[in-house]
Amino acid sequence: MAVSAVHLESDAFLVCMNHALSTEKEEVMGLCIGEVDTNRIVHIHSVIILRRSDKRKDRVEISPEQLSAASTEAEISFNFTHRLAEMTGRPVRVVGWYHSHPHITVWPSHVDVRTQAMYQMMDQGFVGLIFSCFIEDKNTKTGRVLYTCFQSVQAQKGSEYERIEIPIHVVPHEAIGKVCLESAVELPRILCQEEQDTYRRIHSLTHLDPITKIHNGSVFTKNLCSQMSAVSGPLLQWLEDRLEQNKQSIVELQKEKERLIQELASL
């Protein structure tokens, strides 16, 4: 086995979870950034939300060539990687991918396993994460969120692949890193760009009459308002709450620091 475990920092986990919970109607995906240590443990300290040009309700995988292109599209160029390395103080590279399973089981499908196997041909240490959400048990009125980590190996019989479990631990990281914050606020920007691209493609059709254009404009307005209401608004609310919480923490921490300084001086 190429990887022994995955350590996912909690602020990176937060970005993944926010992304997965942003929509229950389609699968979303992103890339995991980090490094692999000498004990074959994959450390993920940030993620990048990917924009999909071909959105399908039930599938989210992209080919290795598309993954490479996606890495470029996501600005994982030398300059960005270098800047990221400077910001985090750690070497960085793409070490895995994550995607969501809304309303379906957390286990990877045969397509997911095959996709993961293809990624592993480029990089043996590449890992896959799946976030299953919007699971509801109507009997017990309980909601559920699950997440798993896996890699692929050649099945003993035939040429198919099968999944192997990789232990995953979410490592506490109380303060949210700069890269994770920037990734988190990238989501509404990506959604807006996707919607604008779709609208422009429709609007550029030359044979549309004014009534149809007005209707399409209203659809665009409706969709953008949905994004503002369901994503941008709650995200802005969370940022303001986090700032408020940090301000209170700063006051308390400063008091404690002064108390400790006085205690040290008296010794």
Partner 1 sequence: MEEYSTTVRLSGFVLGSLMFQHLNTDSDVEGLLVGESVREEKSKITDSQTDHIQFLHTINIQKHITCRRIHSFYNNACEIDEEKIREITSNFNEENVIGWYRQRRNTTQQMTLKEQLVHQNLRRLLPHQELIFILLTPSDTTSSGSTHRLEYTAFIWNGSQYSSVLISIGNLGMLDQQDYWRFSTTCPSLSRCQAVKKHKTKFFSTEDDLREVEKVSNMNDALLDEMKTACEKVEKSERLVEKLQADITELKEAISKQKKKQQQCNTTETSTPNEPKENVLLCAALKALFPNSPSLRTQTLTVQGFPVLEVCCSSEHGIDIPSRLPLVLEYEQGLRKRKTSRDCRSQEKSQVAGTSLRRKRKRNTTDTQDPAEEEEVDNLQDSNSPVF
Neighbouring CB atoms inside 10 A of 125's CB total 16
Out of 85, 134, 153, 162, the residue judged to bind partner 1 by CB under 8 A: 134
Tokens coding 176: 């949210």
Among 38, 39, 57, 65, binds partner 1 (CB under 8 A): 57
């994982």: which residue's tokens?
Answer: 76
234 makes contact with partner 1 (CB under 8 A): yes
Site for partner 1 in 14-53 (CB under 8 A): 14, 17-18, 20-26
Q: Is 56 in the site for partner 1 (CB under 8 A)?
A: no
Residue 63 in tokens: 């080919």
Region near partner 1 per CB under 8 A, out of 36-44, 62-70, 153-161, 234-242: 234-242
Please identify which residue in 69, 111, 121, 145 interacts with partner 1, judged by CB under 8 A.
Answer: 145
Total residues in contact with partner 1, by rule CB under 8 A: 109
Binding to partner 1 by residue 106, rule CB under 8 A?
yes
Q: Which CB, 82 or 213, lies closer to partner 1?
A: 213
**Closer to partner 1 at the Cβ: 157 or 243?**
243
Rounded Cα–Cα distance for residues 74 and 172 (Å): 26
Cα 234 to Cα 238: distance, rounded to the nearest angstrom:
6
Type and span of the H or E element at 234: helix 233-266
Nearer to partner 1, 69 or 164 (CB): 164
Alpha helices by DSSP H, listed for 24-91, are 64-73, 78-88
State the amino acid at position 119 in one-letter form: Y
CB atoms within 10 A of CB 106: 17
If you search the block for the tokens 């709650």, which residue do you land on?
234
Give min distance, CB of 132 to partner 1, in A: 9
| Of residues 23 and 68, the one with the C-beta less far from partner 1 | 23
